[in-house]
Amino acid sequence: MTINQIIKRAFERLKKENKLLTPDLYMEAFCLEAKTAGIVIEDCNQVEKFIKKLDISLQNELKQYRVKTLNELITFFIAKLNRLKPAECSAQNSALSTLLKRVLQTISSLHNAELSALSTKSIKDLDLASDAEQIEKIKDEWINFLTSYDDSFFDRLKPLGRVNKNDIKATIENLSIHSRADSMPDELQNLALLFVASFAPSIASSVNEELAKISDELRKNPQSLSSETMIHSIKRAIQLRINLDKHHIKKMLASLDGVLKRLSVQLLSLIDRTDNSGNEIAKIKLNLKNMELHYSDDFKSAHQRLYSIATSLEEETLLLGTELKEHNNVVSEMEKKIKDLEKELESAKKASREDALTKLYNKRGLDEFLEIREGEFKRYEKPYSIIFFDIDYFKKVNDTYGHDAGDLILKGFAQVFKGIARNVDIVGRYGGEEFMAILSETDHNGTIIFAEKVRKKLEVSRFLYAGQRIQVTISAGIGFREEHPSMQAVLKSADEKLYKAKNSGRNQIVS
């Protein structure tokens, strides 16, 4: 590559990178193109030569600044020379950093979880900080903390003593917690009465002896609320109250279940004896009316609803019994006709999907199963494959031996085809001498093995017609659903591969 070509490529690089055409940027682009072309340009290595002559500490510092051009190198040294006593500045920065870490360690030991977490994080961030921008981020976190810090929680301590927000220790020492507790007898009395009221069961009719004993003790001695023994007793009382309600509900439900069970048994019985349904419902109503149940008013209303239901059932059953008697013969005759129609429908449905000659599925049946497999693929991602088989030179067989011989071969191949297929495989005659297999739950290798079995079996078979043995072969093309965007694409692929197999010499499988 010539220098002119490198210059041209340098201009193209600047244009492609949307950079201005300045001497420094041009020099950088020119050197990069020269390096790519493997040409050594003395001016491109000036910066590296100068840097290698410097002290190792300066070389390391220059690596951090990624100095590439002579102008950047000169700028670095000007800034270096303008600094006042750089060694002292470095030592001072190190000392300040150490001092800052010690301050943060001290802050992290204070009794404030949020402040402690921020201090610990800042110490870790300072160890990783390599430039002013990262230190600026740490500073911003502390500014955010100061502007959002809320010390109003101290105000909750004011009823207990003098609060000094600048001295947490002094504030805690000045709190009068015990004297405050001694000045609340009225509040304890009210609290005790509230507990006693809560012990009364909301569903059960009365309390037991243990609940009564705890309630009496609270009324007499409200101050006992502060003792561990009474707290344990209150917990026990609350559980007892819940258990009493549960027991009473269980008892009520058992009684109601008995009523419903008797009602259900008698209703089922009358359904079996339709002729006497009206009399049976009347008996149910009488039994419900005469039942003596002892429970609350709400429970009695449930009983009344059951009685109303029985009354309605009596009226409806009388009407239903009359209608059933009138339509019984019609229903029986319709049932017979429906059964006959179902048999005819099943027979017609079977005939519509079966090929008359081979007794395999016809094209209509194969299309129906294809739709089913396609639905399973879309819904559950179950793969399936399609194989098109075509008997080689079948027209020649018809022309030589006649159509009866052709029919014999079609029926014979159908037997071979069906014998190799599994229960889950769908095989059928697609039309003429073309057959199809729809395989599910079979991988690519298994599909090819199946097709080869059919091909080899037919290859060694001989069909006897009019004292002559006729040998035929078969070609096949395979399409895999997961390799195509639609069912139609799979069919087209399998058909194209079948014709490829026939055009490539026949008696072979193309997948």
For 82-95, what is each residue's pLDDT tens digit?
A: 665 555 566 666 76
Q: Is the pLDDT of residue 376 over 90?
A: yes
- Which of 253, 281, 300 is where one domain is finished? 253
Sign of torsion over alpha carbons 259, 261, 262, 266: positive
Alpha-carbon distance 214 to 329, whole Å? Answer: 74
Position 199, amino acid: F
Q: Is the pLDDT of residue 461 over 80?
A: yes
Sorting pLDDT into bands at 50, 70 and 90, what band is 179? Answer: very low
Asked whether residue 143 falls in the same domain as residue 196, the answer is no
Alpha-carbon distance 300 to 289, whole Å? Answer: 12
Give every CB contact of residue 460 below 8 A, 6+ residues apart in sequence: none
Asked whether residue 132 falls in the same domain as residue 194, the answer is no
Q: Is the pLDDT of residue 46 over 80?
A: no
What mean pLDDT is predicted for residues 282-293?
60
Asked whether residue 486 falls in the same domain as residue 364, the answer is yes
Q: Is residue 181 part of a domain?
A: no
What mean pLDDT is predicted for residues 435-440?
95
Sorting pLDDT into bands at 50, 70 and 90, what band is 349? Answer: low
Alpha-carbon distance 301 to 464, whole Å? Answer: 88
Asked whether residue 415 falls in the same domain as residue 501, the answer is yes
Q: Is residue 158 part of a domain?
A: no
159: tokens are: 């009823």
For residues 303 and 260, is the Cβ–Cβ distance under 8 A?
A: no
DSSP 3-state of 54: coil
Asked whether residue 123 falls in the same domain as residue 214, the answer is no
What mean pLDDT is predicted for residues 113-141?
78
Asked whether residue 376 falls in the same domain as residue 502, the answer is yes
DSSP 3-state of 465: strand
Q: Is the pLDDT of residue 27 over 90?
A: no
Question: Regarding predicted confidence, which is higher, 482 or 276?
Answer: 482
What pLDDT score was predicted for residue 408?
94
Give Cα separations from 129 to 107, 115, 136, 303, 414 (angstroms).
20, 21, 10, 79, 80
Asked whether residue 486 falls in the same domain as residue 359, the answer is yes
Question: Regarding predicted confidence, which is higher, 190 or 281?
Answer: 190
Tally the domains of the chain.
Answer: 3
Question: Regarding predicted confidence, which is higher, 224 or 288?
Answer: 224
DSSP string, 123-178: HHHHHH--SHHHHHHHHHHHHHHHHH---GGGGGGGGGS---TT-HHHHHHH--HH
User: 476 - beta bridge partners?
Assistant: 389, 509
- Which of 207, 231, 253 is where one domain is finished? 253
Sorting pLDDT into bands at 50, 70 and 90, what band is 8? Answer: confident
Asked whether residue 142 falls in the same domain as residue 194, the answer is no
Q: What is the largest CA-CA distance in the chain?
A: 124
Sorting pLDDT into bands at 50, 70 and 90, what band is 181? Answer: very low
What mean pLDDT is predicted for residues 150-162?
76
CATH (domain of 411): 3.30.70.270
212: tokens are: 């009564």
Asked whether residue 139 falls in the same domain as residue 198, the answer is no
Mean pLDDT of the chain: 79
Lowest mean pLDDT among 57-61, 106-110, 446-450: 106-110
Q: Which residue has the tokens 């519509």?
A: 352
DSSP string, 393-462: THHHHHHHH-HHHHHHHHHHHHHHHHHHS-TT-EEEEEETTEEEEEEES--HHHHHHHHHHHHHHHHH--
Lowest mean pLDDT among 96-100, 297-301, 467-471: 297-301
Q: Which residue has the tokens 């003395």?
A: 42
pLDDT tens for 216-272 read: 787 778 777 777 787 777 877 778 777 777 777 777 767 666 666 666 666 656 555
Lowest mean pLDDT among 116-120, 237-241, 256-260, 378-382: 256-260
Alpha-carbon distance 506 to 391, whole Å? Answer: 9
Give every CB contact of residue 37 below 8 A, 6+ residues apart in sequence: 1, 5, 6
Sign of torsion over alpha carbons 410, 416, 419, 425: negative
- Which of 94, 122, 148 is where one domain is finished? 148
User: Roughly how many angstroms between the first and final C-alpha of the chain, as a whole number?
Assistant: 51
What mean pLDDT is predicted for residues 157-179?
72
Asked whether residue 408 falls in the same domain as residue 494, the answer is yes
Q: What percent of the chain has pLDDT over 90?
A: 28
For residues 292 and 259, is the Cβ–Cβ distance under 8 A?
A: no
Q: Is the pLDDT of residue 387 over 90?
A: yes
Q: Is residue 33 part of a domain?
A: no
Q: Domain residues for 203?
A: 190-253
What pLDDT score was predicted for residue 276?
54
For residues 389 and 437, is the Cβ–Cβ distance under 8 A?
A: yes
- Beta-sheet pairing, 434-440 with 463-465: unpaired
Alpha-carbon distance 473 to 394, whole Å? Answer: 9
Question: Regarding predicted confidence, which is higher, 234 or 488?
Answer: 488
What pLDDT score was predicted for residue 53?
82
Alpha-carbon distance 215 to 201, whole Å? Answer: 13
What mean pLDDT is predicted for residues 150-174?
75
Q: What angle do CA 213, 215, 220 make, to 5 degrees?
A: 95
What pLDDT score was predicted for residue 272?
56
Q: Is residue 359 part of a domain?
A: yes
For residues 44 and 35, is the Cβ–Cβ distance under 8 A?
A: yes
What pLDDT score was predicted for residue 457?
94
What pLDDT score was predicted for residue 119?
82
Lowest mean pLDDT among 8-12, 160-164, 322-326: 322-326
Asked whether residue 221 falls in the same domain as residue 362, the answer is no
What pLDDT score was predicted for residue 171?
74
Asked whether residue 141 falls in the same domain as residue 220, the answer is no
Q: Is the pLDDT of residue 343 over 90?
A: no
Q: Is residue 37 part of a domain?
A: no
Helix (H) or strand (E) holding 95: helix 86-108
What pLDDT score was predicted for residue 180?
45
What mean pLDDT is predicted for residues 42-62?
80
Q: Is the pLDDT of residue 430 over 80?
A: yes
Lowest mean pLDDT among 251-260, 349-358, 423-432: 251-260
Question: Regarding predicted confidence, which is higher, 208 or 29?
Answer: 29
Q: How many CA atoms lie within 13 A of 25 on its CB side?
A: 12
- The strand order across the sheet containing 509-510 reads 426-431, 434-440, 384-391, 474-480, 509-510
What mean pLDDT is predicted for residues 316-332?
69
